[in-house]
Structure 1
């Protein structure tokens, strides 16, 4: 059962139990600057922001999976505006006015805004000079332990939000406290280093003050909230981005030894809607079917077109289709392939689709499937990445590989290229369609010596060009043009043009190449 209280858009909706709507009234009756005066109101606000994480996730695959070598835009001959927009992302030439680029930006900053109000009420302030979260006087009728626990959840969400923004857009606007619209327009972009400094501060605070209850002892009311273990795992990934491998190893070993989380027996079990928030899920963006407006719409976007109700109620749009390159990369005995990828073959043998999140709701665009953000498998493979080519690292990889294939890889600790390919492949197969691959490729530029993002995408285009990209008629790009597009400048999304055009106080610099 999922128990949530949500603030949604223009409404404050309180949900108790699975589906019952208890109260509904305009948010205009709530002053966010003064609303958070007790534990119940803080929990309501936090749960509203957890719900707010749904919106960025609904766009995120376009900037991650689609721009990696995992997926393609399914209809190269279409004249649909939506498909054109997906194509522009897939082939790395979106405009600075791309709607999805702006929508993702706006939804993410809305969540950051909500977090800042909560942290302000809790007296938890980011100190830019020291790079730490400072706590002022406790003015709320809650214990200091509870105050810091609430703040830890809020800091996790803010760090997660900024971590996605900085990887997708580069240096963005660093907003860590409530500000007015006029104040916001006088705030220019911060450096990537300063954004990461805030992320580290937030996650260090969340690691220290979040719930450290082991999996299996987590109170029901806290299931799905961000705890200390999720913060440590995410901070370890941030440290990998910053090439602080020793710091990452310390955190990952702590999670492995002390968190109570672990691998599910089977890969399919991880994603079963009857097994949500299982021992492998450290954090997920949660969805709830049942006609409340909280269901997951991505299964309908990923399901095959013209499939009626054979795959999902209301058929699908065939977005985010698995690339033939990814399909061919799976070994025949890899059980992950059938969990992740399926074929709708009734008169449409070529409709290959993402199967990972398919369930059978009774309403269109209302699936139950949660979206995994941090899994225990990720913890193990991050440890292997941080440790490098050692026997211990091969052991971590084999824990994942053997679950899917029953085969144990033979360690080769003397050949770094063999190790890094094994690691990169394992992450690709394990986290396919979880919005990890593109970010992995960018991080590998820092953490690995033989696998580089630009070369990987260039090879993807070379493999898929005769199979797929030659079908495009508008615009027609040569393979060389596509490979030229796929460069570090274009790996960053453009700063939304609306932010630049509507600022009468400052000149906001655009990312190179746009």
Structure 2
């Protein structure tokens, strides 16, 4: 898939199909009305949709990890506009014109468009009133098996994007087919209920369309593509987010028992560039170094600021800085093998700075790393299943599987109630999945699925823990701790709808999220 993506970039240049306008077809002598007329051309379009997952991911950590208790903006005293934008997200003060938010929004809808074009050419039609998908007749010579496989992959990609959007923004614009600029102006925000109806329909259909091949049977060109197990795992997470625990548990148990995926022997090997697409990776956003335009920027972005070539060629930007609280949590378990992969230290004494080494790989060019970004891991599935099942011996056993791989002993006997179980589960997910963009979404979900952990309380405690060493170091006017904590409300857990979407549509009154 990595090599195919580089070829598709050349196709994009020739076809004019990669511009950023989210509501227009790619325009050129060969546009979507004429190009996607063979199986190979549809495959190329789908490859472009896989490649299009990189762009939203480049800023996703800003809207998730940075807004959780895992990460903070690295340089509190900086007055640069880039750092101030990150600080505003970190402190729950983003403006409705925030650049990072708009970039994520734009790139996500751009790739939803890419997926919609593929689905349209494959004859996949969504009925919003019924919440169902159907196949219509098409003029492409393609077998039923290939047609459903390609459609299932595009549905997985679309559902992934919409699942992130609805959790970050609430109800957004539900666009399920390619539309013109004029048509876009007639579409207002849909409710979260309607968004989840589409997401569920996409993933339920994908689970029936996609290949059920077990991990050991996946070879060749199918490596890296979405399959039935990835779709079931993502749908399980969707159901858990909706507090439909029994349905989530059924799907997640199926993945655990029948997919052929499993934990790697060591935590570090999960992320090794010499061990990509290993048994723990159900789905990942792939990157390819080598000057192809497909490399990862995260090694340079997350390496310590002003570290020169000590950590990575081209130095680091010091972004996504681990919190002292998370570092202390790792240090409380000195045998935890996950610490070295997630948190490292550059410098000594008072000049020591924490950074994230998880996505480091040797680079010749800056921002051109090899490291993939995992979206769904087997360990994630194990812990989601424990959450869906609740406080049971089976759930304790699942958590202990993850702990054992990390070099830790089983949970102590003091984990003997719903409250202690929930705390142990949340802590395990925080450590296991650190800096993979899960923590903020987990906190949102815990508001519903757990009884003792509430996102607002966790984030206020985070500000208290980091205030003296970090937030009090900002230039004047410095927010007091109570003022900083007051920024975190149930409303502000959602991001603002980009103001440009509201201001540039004279046809509709588009509601902004409460609090902005």
Secondary structure at the residue paired with 2:11?
A: strand
- Mark the CA change 1:464 to 1:178 in structure 2 (over 3 Å): closer, same or farther: same
Cα displacement string for residues 108-149 of structure 1 (whole angstroms, at most 9, x for unaligned residues):
000111111111111111111221111112432011121111
- Mark the CA change 1:405 to 1:273 in structure 2 (over 3 Å): closer, same or farther: same
1:269 corresponds to 2:269? yes
Task: Check conservation: 2:245, 2:389, Cα contact below 8 A.
Answer: yes
1:426 alignment counterpart: 428
1:122 alignment counterpart: 122
Taking structure 1 as the reference length, what is the TM-score of the superposition? 0.95
**Aligned equivalents of 2:29 and 2:343: distance in 1?**
47
1:182 alignment counterpart: 182
1:396 alignment counterpart: 398
Task: Check conservation: 2:284, 2:373, Cα contact below 8 A.
Answer: yes
Deviation at 1:350, TM superposition (A): 2.0
**Aligned equivalents of 2:414 and 2:250: distance in 1?**
24
Deviation at 1:411, TM superposition (A): 5.1
**Aligned equivalents of 2:80 and 2:352: distance in 1?**
20
1:67 corresponds to 2:53? no
**Aligned equivalents of 1:430 and 1:454: distance in 2?**
22
Deviation at 1:267, TM superposition (A): 0.2
Secondary structure at the residue paired with 1:246?
A: helix
Secondary structure at the residue paired with 2:505?
A: coil
- Mark the CA change 1:134 to 1:26 in structure 2 (over 3 Å): closer, same or farther: closer
1:443 alignment counterpart: 445
**Aligned equivalents of 1:138 and 1:402: distance in 2?**
51
Matched length? 504
**Aligned equivalents of 1:25 and 1:174: distance in 2?**
27
Q: CA RMSD in A?
A: 1.5
Secondary structure at the residue paired with 1:130?
A: coil
**Aligned equivalents of 1:411 and 1:367: distance in 2?**
44
Cα displacement string for residues 231-269 of structure 1 (whole angstroms, at most 9, x for unaligned residues):
000000000011111101110111111111000000000
Deviation at 1:412, TM superposition (A): 5.6
**Aligned equivalents of 1:428 and 1:475: distance in 2?**
33
**Aligned equivalents of 2:168 and 2:375: distance in 1?**
16
1:462 corresponds to 2:464? yes
Match of 1:385 among 373, 384, 387: 387
Cα displacement string for residues 270-328 of structure 1 (whole angstroms, at most 9, x for unaligned residues):
00000111110000011100011110011111111111111001001101100000000
1:12 alignment counterpart: 11
**Aligned equivalents of 1:191 and 1:2: distance in 2?**
36
1:257 alignment counterpart: 257
Deviates more, 1:340-349 or 1:141-150: 340-349
User: Where do 5+ consecutive residues of structure 2 fail to align?
Assistant: 18-27
Secondary structure at the residue paired with 2:283?
A: strand
Task: Check conservation: 2:207, 2:229, Cα contact below 8 A.
Answer: yes
2:328 alignment counterpart: 328
1:173 corresponds to 2:173? yes
1:18 alignment counterpart: none
1:488 corresponds to 2:490? yes
Secondary structure at the residue paired with 1:66?
A: helix
Moved over 6 A (4+): none
- Mark the CA change 1:249 to 1:282 in structure 2 (over 3 Å): closer, same or farther: same
Task: Check conservation: 1:343, 1:349, Cα contact below 8 A.
Answer: no
Deviation at 1:31, TM superposition (A): 0.8
Task: Check conservation: 1:123, 1:135, Cα contact below 8 A.
Answer: yes
User: Where do 5+ consecutive residues of structure 1 fail to align?
Assistant: 14-22
Deviation at 1:29, TM superposition (A): 3.6
Deviation at 1:373, TM superposition (A): 0.3
- Mark the CA change 1:348 to 1:3 in structure 2 (over 3 Å): closer, same or farther: farther
Taking structure 2 as the reference length, what is the TM-score of the superposition? 0.95
1:203-352 correspondence to structure 2 within 5 Å: 203-330=203-330, 331-345=333-347, 349-352=351-354
- Mark the CA change 1:294 to 1:475 in structure 2 (over 3 Å): closer, same or farther: farther
Task: Check conservation: 1:390, 1:413, Cα contact below 8 A.
Answer: no
1:29-178 correspondence to structure 2 within 5 Å: 29-178=29-178
Secondary structure at the residue paired with 2:318?
A: coil
Secondary structure at the residue paired with 1:402?
A: helix
- Mark the CA change 1:106 to 1:475 in structure 2 (over 3 Å): closer, same or farther: farther
Cα displacement string for residues 130-185 of structure 1 (whole angstroms, at most 9, x for unaligned residues):
21111112432011121111110000000000000001111000000111101101
Cα displacement string for residues 197-227 of structure 1 (whole angstroms, at most 9, x for unaligned residues):
0000000011111011110111210111111
